Amino acid sequence: MRKHKEQFEKNISRLVKSTGQSQIPSEQFTNNLIDDALNELQQDQPGRQKRSTFMKRFVKTTMSIAACFVVAAVLLSVLMSPVRKVSRGHESYSAKNGELVAEAKDLAKRINPPRPPAPYTTAKQASPKPASPAKINQDQILLYTKMQPAQESIIVGASSDQSLQMAHGGTTPPNGEPVDAMFFKNYGVNPFVDTEDDHLSTFAIDVDSGSYTLCRSYLQQGNLPSRDAVRVEEFVNYFDYDYPAPRQDAFAVYFEAMPWQFGAARKNTHLMRIGLKALEIPDENRKPAILTFVIDVSGSMSREDRLGLVKQSLALLVDKLRADDKIGIAVYGSQGREILSHTGLNNKQRIMRAIRSLESEGSTNAEEGIRIGYDMAEEAFVPGYINRVILCSDGVANVGATGPEQILKIIKDKADKGITLSALGFGMGNYNDVLMEQLGNKGNGYYAYIDTLDQAKRLFSNLTGALQVVARDVKVQVDFNPDIVRSYRLIGYENRDVADVDFRNDIVDGGEIGAGHSTTALYELKLWPQKEGNIATTYVRYKDADTFAVSEFSARFETSQIAAGTSAVSDSFALASVVTQFAEILRQSYWAKGANLADTLAKARQLTAAFENNADVTELVELMTRTNDLLAKTADSEDALEPASIEYRQP
Amino acid sequence: MQEQPSGSSSLDIRAGGPEIWRQILARTIPQLYGFFVRRGVHAALAEELTQKTVFDAVCRPEQFDPAKGTPEQWMFAIAHNNLALEMRNRQSHAKPDTELLKYLEVLDTQPLPDEVLERKETAELVRAALSSLEDKEQQVLRGKYLEDKSALQLGQAMKLSEKAVHSLLYRARIALREKLIHLAPQFREEQKI
């Protein structure tokens, strides 16, 4: 609602301003802008000095390296061409190296005398930036984190001690950003909403877990992830909460609530969990699958042997498929091409030969590769089967006539026709999380990030769920009772917001859910004291995966169902609470202000007894411990920010 | 030909204090705004681009090199680049439908495309709708968005409390939208004639 109000105000402001005919801005605008600029100038002085010192050091180092290259190149050219001259003089290179270099430098100076600095130029006059096909939607705020020393920032983008090689072949950076950029998007943090202003909370479900695995990869490499990489709902949805599956219905819904103390500023709040579990389908009842792999074999995929991991993951998937399934493969480097037409699993050797033959090459013509993949999928399309394109990439698209908007449009159109897409992300450094997530979202499939073979195994362990969708366009609307609930905030799902009025508008996109998959949404609630009754009614609306028939059901949750304390709730709810706190702290949410990771870690450790054989929970505790250590290390470093100056994400 | 600022100064802003910046900004901001408007950019976007240019400059004063030109020339070069970037971004998107009526129903969810705001007809329609509002509503909308006055300043001028200005603004915005929806079809017919 608040977002709508802001959008409305902005539009009205722009409309009224459009009536202005003056070529001079208002005096007030000029004065306000001068004041703001001077404030910025004063506030930013220390930070800039710090950056400027770093930049100086960086420039100095770069210049030294460049100088070494120049010297080496000059030496080489001198050794190659005037070799005969020197030979004629019977002089040894070793004795004359220094002089030769000096001579070469003098020569270079004569040929290229130092130029006066060029006057200020515009983009048009300077080398034009190529129209970038990989440009992300202009409304997005793209952040990138360059490889840099850990102490430069409290949040470090990627490994500081790893000198990752530059991408081969496809070295044209996406959007003109450095090749090692990691692209994430800041979706903001949901605010507390007064039920008097808006008692409806509507969102599209999300079963992705890419954000968790990507952040795990950061932490395992000894770095804190960018806070924009953290999507709370994807952290929460990574874990299995053991919701019982429905027997007949498409969904079962589960509620739980407990008193919750998180962050310094709030007391007497509650955490409410809404869990949705989709119908399970036995593997033998799964529909036959026509899968089209579109594999990125560009230069960037040779980094950290991303392509090797793709091959291993695909081999794993092929092993789990049935004889009535089919696989086709398209690849894209500098150009897209088909390398295997759709082949039945009874010819597994042919499929495996095609997978083994993949080699990285050239730049990244994602658009062409995706088009070819979809052409193949359309040709092999069988109504009633699972028709799915599986894209394996690091999300970097730097060649092609059109931008990602066009790619996303193609994917959306095809998804509407029944060819869905799953985006599997590979790679750390030069990785585009934003595009991969959008591809999975628009393609009515899912987005997963694969950093290890174990992750691939985990993903394909429920292959039926990964492939067969049981409900499409699933939307959830929670109608809070203003007599009981004073205010609420949805934790996460910031990029899955649906306007309240669009809940029953079936043209508006929701989320897809695979067989046996579950999804969890958490709300922090402030309740009116000593009131009893219905807290909320939750409506779930979805389309049948095959017939597209729309169904809706609702469930109520009462105050009497709130647990008396944290010890009275299920272990799985306690786990969800810990995961939420971890993600909120990692993304520096405004609502995590004053929260202490050590406290959350202690709660997580208590849970290990209840989840003794659960590798995911063991790993979570390990990751939280690492994070705690990294935060402590950062706090000890010279450039650590004062707690008061940590910039928490404002709702 | 590349537009150049008038009244260029030879001040070195790299180590300059706030006073030097104030002088330069007071002179350059109106010139920058005029530069954007003359390039056909609508007023709201001209303000946004002016703000962006100024902030690009104050956040990176170390990039200014007096050997290359004056601070004003430097800021104009940034402005040219920002405008080029804006146009490039625009070209990379499909051209939107510029029929205003289509967007009026979704003013609270969809951003108005720049192309719509740059149509003469849009400005004329908004002017007509504004003039048909009650005096107080007109005054508060013009004061807020054309003169950039705060609610406090508007309240002082109109002898109202700040809270009353906020509610008046709220009502005026809704009234303007209703007027626009009401007038748009009629206006389109008149344009055809």
Are B149 and A28 in contact (CB < 8 Å)? Answer: yes
Report chain A residues whose CB lies below 8 A from the CB of B58: 37-38, 40-41, 44
For A614, the 3-state DSSP assignment is: coil
Compare A305 and A273 and report the one with higher pLDDT. A273
Report chain B residues whose CB lies below 8 A from the CB of A26: 146-148
Domain boundary at B47, B62, B91, which?
B91
Radius of gyration of chain B, Cα coordinates, nearest whole angstrom: 20
Q: Indicate whether A141 pLDDT > 80.
A: no
**Cα–Cα distance for residue pair A307/A426, rounded to 1 Å:** 8
**Cα–Cα distance for residue pair B184/B104, rounded to 1 Å:** 9
For B80, the 3-state DSSP assignment is: helix
Q: What is the mean pLDDT of residues A531-535?
A: 92
**Cα–Cα distance for residue pair A145/A156, rounded to 1 Å:** 7
Domain identity same for B114 and B146? yes
Q: Is residue B34 part of a domain?
A: yes
Domain boundary at A441, A467, A493, which?
A467
Domain boundary at A402, A435, A467, which?
A467
Q: With bands split at pLDDT 50, 70 and 90, how would you rate the model's confidence at A453?
A: confident
Q: Is residue B9 part of a domain?
A: no
For B77, the 3-state DSSP assignment is: helix
Q: Which domain holds residue B120?
A: 100-192
- The separation between the first and the last C-alpha atoms of chain B, rounded to the nearest angstrom, is 39
Kindly report the number of other CB atoms within 10 A of residue A43's CB atom: 10
Bridge partners (DSSP) of residue A514 are A469
Kindly report the number of other CB atoms within 10 A of residue A114's CB atom: 6
Are A16 and B141 in contact (CB < 8 Å)? Answer: yes
Domain identity same for A534 and A447? no
Domain identity same for A362 and A422? yes
Compare B9 and A309 and report the one with higher pLDDT. A309
Q: Is residue A401 part of a domain?
A: yes
Average pLDDT taken over every residue of chain B: 81
Give A119 to chain B, closest Cα distance, Å: 4
- The string of DSSP letters for A237-288 reads TTS---PPPPSSSSEEEEEEEEEE--SSS--SEEEEEEEEEEPP--GGGSPP
**Cα–Cα distance for residue pair A466/A459, rounded to 1 Å:** 7
Are B69 and A120 in contact (CB < 8 Å)? Answer: yes
Mutate to test the interface with B, among A6, A8, A16 (most CBs of B within 10 A): A16
What DSSP character marks residue B145?
I
Domain identity same for B171 and B118? yes
By Cβ distance, the residue of A7, A24, A135 closest to B109 is A7
The structure tokens listed for A86 are 């020197």
Report chain A residues whose CB lies below 8 A from the CB of B144: 13, 16
Bridge partners (DSSP) of residue A251 are A278
For A392, the 3-state DSSP assignment is: strand
The structure tokens listed for A223 are 């770095």
A 49-78 → B contacts, CB under 8 A? 52, 55
> Residue A228 in contact with residue A520, Cβ under 8 Å?
no
> Residue A230 in contact with residue A511, Cβ under 8 Å?
no
Compare B141 and B87 and report the one with higher pLDDT. B141
Range in A230-244, A458-472, A632-646 the model is least confident about: A632-646
- The separation between the first and the last C-alpha atoms of chain A, rounded to the nearest angstrom, is 13
What DSSP character marks residue A305?
G
Report chain B residues whose CB lies below 8 A from the CB of A36: 51
Q: Which residue has the tokens 């991303």?
A: A306
Backbone angles phi, psi at A547, to 5 degrees: -90, -15
For A492, the 3-state DSSP assignment is: coil
Amino acid A300: pLDDT: 75
**Cα–Cα distance for residue pair B78/B86, rounded to 1 Å:** 12
Nearest chain A Cα to B142, which residue? A16
The structure tokens listed for A56 are 């100086």
Are A19 and B91 in contact (CB < 8 Å)? Answer: no
The structure tokens listed for A144 are 């990138």
Q: Indicate whether A115 pLDDT > 60.
A: no
Domain identity same for A303 and A328? yes
By Cβ distance, the residue of B18, B103, B180 closest to A42 is B18
Domain identity same for A233 and A305? no
- Whole-angstrom CA distances from A479 to A180, A202, A400, A483, A623 are 44, 9, 46, 12, 36
Cβ contacts below 8 Å, chain A against chain B, sum to 175
Q: Indicate whether A119 pLDDT > 70.
A: no
Domain boundary at B60, B91, B122, which?
B91
Q: Which residue has the tokens 């303000």?
A: B47
CATH of the domain at A327: 3.40.50.410
Q: With bands split at pLDDT 50, 70 and 90, how would you rate the model's confidence at A325?
A: very high
Report chain B residues whose CB lies below 8 A from the CB of A125: 2
CATH of the domain at B134: 1.10.10.10
**Cα–Cα distance for residue pair A393/B15, rounded to 1 Å:** 47
Name the amino acid, one letter, at B151.
A
Q: With bands split at pLDDT 50, 70 and 90, how would you rate the model's confidence at A61?
A: low
- Whole-angstrom CA distances from B192 to B101, B118, B128, B163, B176 are 15, 19, 17, 43, 23
Domain identity same for B51 and B108? no
CA-based nearest residue to A250, from A623, A589, A513: A513
By Cβ distance, the residue of A24, A36, A403 closest to B30 is A24
CATH of the domain at B34: 1.10.1740
Establish if A116 touches chain B: CB-CB under 8 angstroms: yes
Q: Which residue has the tokens 């950062």?
A: A634
pLDDT (tens digit, 9 = 90+) per residue, A145-185?
222 222 222 222 333 333 222 222 222 333 333 334 456 66
A 498-517 → B contacts, CB under 8 A? 499
- Whole-angstrom CA distances from A497 to A104, A204, A294, A435, A447 are 64, 7, 30, 18, 18
**Cα–Cα distance for residue pair A554/A541, rounded to 1 Å:** 9
Q: Indicate whether A330 pLDDT > 70.
A: yes
**Cα–Cα distance for residue pair A453/A165, rounded to 1 Å:** 22
Q: With bands split at pLDDT 50, 70 and 90, how would you rate the model's confidence at A5?
A: confident
CA-based nearest residue to A599, from A583, A578, A618: A578
Q: Indicate whether A278 pLDDT > 60.
A: yes
Amino acid A10: pLDDT: 87
Q: What stretches of A358-445 show up as alpha helix (H) in DSSP?
A: 366-379, 404-416, 433-442
The length of chain B, given as a count of residues: 193
Q: Indicate whether A454 pLDDT > 70.
A: yes
Q: Indicate whether A637 pLDDT > 60.
A: no
Give B92 to chain A, closest Cα distance, Å: 7
Establish if A115 touches chain B: CB-CB under 8 angstroms: no
Bridge partners (DSSP) of residue A207 are none
Q: Is residue B2 part of a domain?
A: no
Establish if A141 touches chain B: CB-CB under 8 angstroms: no
**A54 CB contacts (<8 Å, ≥6 apart)?**
A152
Q: What share of chain B is helix, strand, coil (3-state, %, to 5)?
A: 70, 0, 30
Radius of gyration of chain A, Cα coordinates, nearest whole angstrom: 28
Q: What is the mean pLDDT of residues A506-517?
A: 88
CA-based nearest residue to A224, from A639, A621, A628: A628
Farthest CA pair distance, chain A: 103
Give A46 to chain B, closest Cα distance, Å: 12
Name the amino acid, one letter, at A438.
Q
Q: Which domain holds residue A204?
A: 193-280+470-562
Report chain A residues whose CB lies below 8 A from the CB of B137: none
**Beta strand A518-527 pairing with A193-194:** unpaired
What DSSP character marks residue A169?
S
**Cα–Cα distance for residue pair B176/B173, rounded to 1 Å:** 5
> Residue A364 in contact with residue A396, Cβ under 8 Å?
yes
Amino acid A104: pLDDT: 35
Q: Is residue A135 part of a domain?
A: no
Nearest chain A Cα to B77, which residue? A122
Bridge partners (DSSP) of residue A386 are A289
Q: With bands split at pLDDT 50, 70 and 90, how would you rate the model's confidence at A292?
A: very high
Q: Which residue has the tokens 């003169």?
A: B147
Q: Indicate whether B10 pLDDT > 80.
A: no
Task: Quote the number of domains for chain A.
Answer: 3
Kindly report the number of other CB atoms within 10 A of residue A629's CB atom: 12
Domain identity same for A361 and A349? yes
Domain identity same for B117 and B78? no
Report chain A residues whose CB lies below 8 A from the CB of B22: 34, 38
Establish if A530 touches chain B: CB-CB under 8 angstroms: no
Q: Is residue A300 part of a domain?
A: yes
Q: What stretches of A267-365 show up as alpha helix (H) in DSSP?
A: 306-320, 348-356
Alpha carbon A318 to its chain's center: 26
**Beta strand A336-344 pairing with A518-527:** unpaired
**Cα–Cα distance for residue pair A64/A345, rounded to 1 Å:** 56
Average pLDDT taken over every residue of chain A: 76
**Cα–Cα distance for residue pair A438/A289, rounded to 1 Å:** 23
CA-based nearest residue to A309, from A507, A163, A459: A459
Compare A413 and A132 and report the one with higher pLDDT. A413
Q: Which residue has the tokens 């983008």?
A: A157
Domain identity same for A301 and A448? yes
Backbone angles phi, psi at A619, to 5 degrees: -65, -40
Are B58 and A20 in contact (CB < 8 Å)? Answer: no
Are A29 and B43 in contact (CB < 8 Å)? Answer: no
By Cβ distance, the residue of B26, B59, B110 closest to A34 is B26
Domain identity same for A275 and A218? yes
Mutate to test the interface with A, among B173, B176, B183, B187 (most CBs of A within 10 A): B173
pLDDT (tens digit, 9 = 90+) per residue, A555-606?
999 999 999 887 889 999 999 999 999 999 999 888 888 888 999 999 999 9
Q: Is residue B1 part of a domain?
A: no
- Whole-angstrom CA distances from A491 to A86, A252, A588, B182 are 74, 21, 13, 40
Instruction: Report ipTM (2 d.p.).
Output: 0.84
Q: With bands split at pLDDT 50, 70 and 90, how would you rate the model's confidence at A239?
A: very high
Q: Which residue has the tokens 């969890």?
A: A520
Domain identity same for B147 and B114? yes
By Cβ distance, the residue of A7, A40, A124 closest to B55 is A40
Nearest chain A Cα to B109, which residue? A4
Amino acid A270: pLDDT: 95
Domain identity same for A305 and A244? no
CATH of the domain at A233: 2.60.40.1230
Nearest chain A Cα to B42, which residue? A18
Q: Indicate whether A477 pLDDT > 90.
A: yes
Give B159 to chain A, closest Cα distance, Å: 20
Backbone angles phi, psi at A438, to 5 degrees: -70, -35
Q: Is residue B4 part of a domain?
A: no
Domain boundary at A420, A447, A467, which?
A467
Are A18 and B50 in contact (CB < 8 Å)? Answer: no
Give A599 to chain B, closest Cα distance, Å: 38
Are B33 and A32 in contact (CB < 8 Å)? Answer: no
Domain identity same for B49 and B110? no
Q: Is residue B29 part of a domain?
A: yes
Domain identity same for A99 and A238? no
Domain identity same for B132 and B58? no
**Cα–Cα distance for residue pair A315/A336, rounded to 1 Å:** 22
**Cα–Cα distance for residue pair A591/A190, rounded to 1 Å:** 9
Side-chain-facing half-sphere of A479: CA atoms under 13 Å: 10
Domain boundary at B91, B116, B145, which?
B91
Range in A1-10, A260-269, A393-402, B134-143 the model is least confident about: A393-402
pLDDT (tens digit, 9 = 90+) per residue, A188-229?
788 888 998 889 999 998 788 888 988 998 898 888 888 888
Establish if A26 touches chain B: CB-CB under 8 angstroms: yes
Are A29 and B148 in contact (CB < 8 Å)? Answer: yes
Give B193 to chain A, closest Cα distance, Å: 23
Domain identity same for A205 and A288? no
Q: With bands split at pLDDT 50, 70 and 90, how would you rate the model's confidence at A476?
A: very high
**A90 CB contacts (<8 Å, ≥6 apart)?**
none
Q: What is the mean pLDDT of residues A638-650?
A: 47
Q: Indicate whether B128 pLDDT > 60.
A: yes
Amino acid B90: pLDDT: 73
Name the amino acid, one letter, at B18.
P
Q: With bands split at pLDDT 50, 70 and 90, how would you rate the model's confidence at A328?
A: very high
By Cβ distance, the residue of A38, A40, A138 closest to B89 is A138
Amino acid A109: pLDDT: 41
Nearest chain B Cα to A32, which residue? B148
Report chain B residues whose CB lies below 8 A from the CB of A52: 62
Are A33 and B29 in contact (CB < 8 Å)? Answer: yes
Are B21 and A41 in contact (CB < 8 Å)? Answer: yes
**A196 CB contacts (<8 Å, ≥6 apart)?**
A482
Amino acid A57: pLDDT: 58
Report chain A residues whose CB lies below 8 A from the CB of B30: 24-25, 30
pLDDT (tens digit, 9 = 90+) per residue, A349-372?
999 999 999 888 777 777 788 889
Task: Quote the number of domains for chain B.
Answer: 2
| Percentage of the residues of chain A whose pLDDT score is greater than 70 | 72
pLDDT (tens digit, 9 = 90+) per residue, B132-169?
999 999 999 999 998 888 888 899 999 888 888 888 99
Domain identity same for B47 and B110? no
Nearest chain A Cα to B125, which residue? A19
Domain identity same for A450 and A316? yes
Give A47 to chain B, closest Cα distance, Å: 10
Give A132 to chain B, closest Cα distance, Å: 9
Are A131 and B88 in contact (CB < 8 Å)? Answer: yes
Give B76 to chain A, closest Cα distance, Å: 9
Report chain A residues whose CB lies below 8 A from the CB of B80: 122-124
By Cβ distance, the residue of A11, A26, A138 closest to B107 is A11
**Cα–Cα distance for residue pair B68/A276, rounded to 1 Å:** 63
The structure tokens listed for A349 are 């050797």
**Cα–Cα distance for residue pair A425/A217, rounded to 1 Å:** 12
Domain identity same for A287 and A258? no
Are B126 and A5 in contact (CB < 8 Å)? Answer: no
Domain identity same for B68 and B47? yes
Amino acid A89: pLDDT: 33
Amino acid A536: pLDDT: 95
Amino acid A249: pLDDT: 84
